[in-house]
Copies of this chain bind each other. A is one copy, B any other.
Amino acid sequence: MTPQSDGGARTTPARRPTIKDIARRAGVSESAVSFALNGRPGVSQGTRDRIHRVAEDLGWQPNSAARALSGERSGCVGLVLARPAHTLGVESFFLQLVSGVQEVLASRKVALLFQVVEDIEAECAVYKRWWAEKRVDGVLVVDPRSEDPRPELLDSLGLPSVMIGAPAEGGRQVSTVWADDSAAMASVLAHLHELGHRHVVHVAGLPGLAHTERRITSLRTEAHRLGLTAIRSVPTDYSDAEGAEATRRVLDEAVPPTAIVYDNDVMAVAGVAVAAERGIKVPGELSIVAWDDSALCRVTHPRLTALVRDTSGFGRLAAEELLAQLDGGPVRSLQAELPHLEPRESTGPPAP
C-alpha cells in the first residue's frame, strides 16, 4: 500500500441542470416543463417542442432521487446472489443471465442493484433492508429452493418479484420464470439410452435447490419408464471438488456407470479430468454430459456434449416479466424455451 499522490482540490464540475433551469430558459413554469417532459397533456405542441429542445441542450436527466421521492418509483431492481464466497465465479450461468437481464433493463432505463451474500438468511435481510429503504421497485430471485422462505417474505413485503428457475408455487403473489428441467432431463436420458447406455449416474447439484429436485425426480421417472434400474443421482455442492470426488466414488464401484450426467459445466470438466487421471477413455469407456454449455465445454479434450439453454434469453424473459409486473401486470408463471442437447465428442456408445 503505497500512497503516491495526495490529489489536490478537485475542480468543481458543472452543476447538474434541473427542471427549474429549463423552465427559466424556456420562459415557462416548472410544472409545464414536467408535463412536457413526461408526455402529459396540458402544454401546446409548440412549447412542448421548445421545452424538449432546451432540455436536450442542457443535457438534462431527471434526478433519480427526486423522481423516486415523488414518483413512488426508484427505477431500480435488485438481484441478490447467495453463495458462499468459495463457490463463486466459475460458473458461466450467472453472468450470462445478468447480461440478458441488463439488456432489457437498460432499454427501459432501469438500474440493477446487485449484491452478493453468504447465505439465504443474509439474502432475506437484504430484501428487508431494500424494502425499508425503498431502494428497489422489485427483485429478481435466483436459486429457488424446495423449501423456500423467500416467496413468503417478498409477498408479505409486497415487493414485486420474479423467481428465476422455479415453477409456480401455490398462493404466493410472486411471478416465476422457469425452464422445463424434467423434459430436458428426459431428453438427456433418451440420448444416452439410444446410444446403448443402461447404467447412468447423475452427479447432481445442491439438493435443496428446486431445479435439482426436479431433475432428480425426472431422472427416476424416466429410468423407470425405460425399464432401467441402475440409474441414480448423487448430490454435490456444484463445486469442482465435489464433482471430482463424486466421480471418483462412482468409478470405484464394483460396476461403474458407462455414462455420467453432470449438473453444471464445472463439474463435468472435473469429471473429464478424473477420467484422464485414471486413463479412462472418453467417450470410449465413459460418456459425459454437461448441463449448461459454456466455453469450458469446448476447451476440454474431448469437447463436451452439453445441454444448451439460452441463458441470456432466460434473463431477458425474467426482466421483461418483472417490468411488466411493475407496470401493473398480473403475477404469472412463464416457461422458457426448452433446453436442447448439443452432442459433441464426449458421448458415444458404451464399451461392449
Contact = CB atoms under 8 A, between A and B. Distances in A.
A63 B73 CA distance: 12
A89 B85 contact: no
Given A63-B69, A299-B266, A312-B85, A330 B294 contact: no
A90 B295 contact: yes
Given A63-B69, A69-B69, A1 B335 contact: yes
Contact of A7 (B64, B85, B332): B332
A333 B6 CA distance: 9
Residue with the highest number of chain B CB atoms closer than 10 Å, among A134, A158, A295, A332: A295
A157 interface: yes
A322 to B, nearest CB: 13
B61 A65 contact: no
A291 B132 CA distance: 43
Contacts of A89: 91-96, 99, 294
Interface stretch (A110-118, A188-196, A228-236): A110-118
Interface residues of A, number: 87
A3 B334 contact: yes
B333 A62 contact: no
Contacts of A94: 89, 95
Contacts of A214: none
Contact of A65 (B68, B116, B131, B274): B68
A258 interface: no
A240 B299 contact: yes
Interface string A278-315: 00000000000000001110111100000000001000
A63 B134 CA distance: 6
Interface string A115-137: 11100000000000101111100
Given A61-B129, A134-B65, A158 B13 contact: yes
B13 A168 contact: no
Contacts of A13: 156-158
A226 interface: no
Contacts of A1: 317, 334-335
Interface in A241-297: 241, 243-244, 266, 269-270, 272-274, 276-277, 294-296
Interface of A: 1-8, 10-13, 16, 59-66, 68-69, 74, 76, 85, 88-96, 98-99, 102, 106, 109, 111-117, 129, 131-135, 156-158, 168, 173, 175, 239-241, 243-244, 266, 269-270, 272-274, 276-277, 294-296, 298-301, 312, 317, 330-335
Q: Which are the 5 A-B pairs with shortest beta-carbon distances?
A: A7-B331, A13-B158, A65-B68, A61-B132, A89-B95
14 contacts: A7-B331, A12-B158, A16-B131, A65-B66, A65-B68, A76-B113, A89-B92, A102-B115, A102-B116, A106-B115, A109-B129, A111-B135, A269-B296, A269-B299
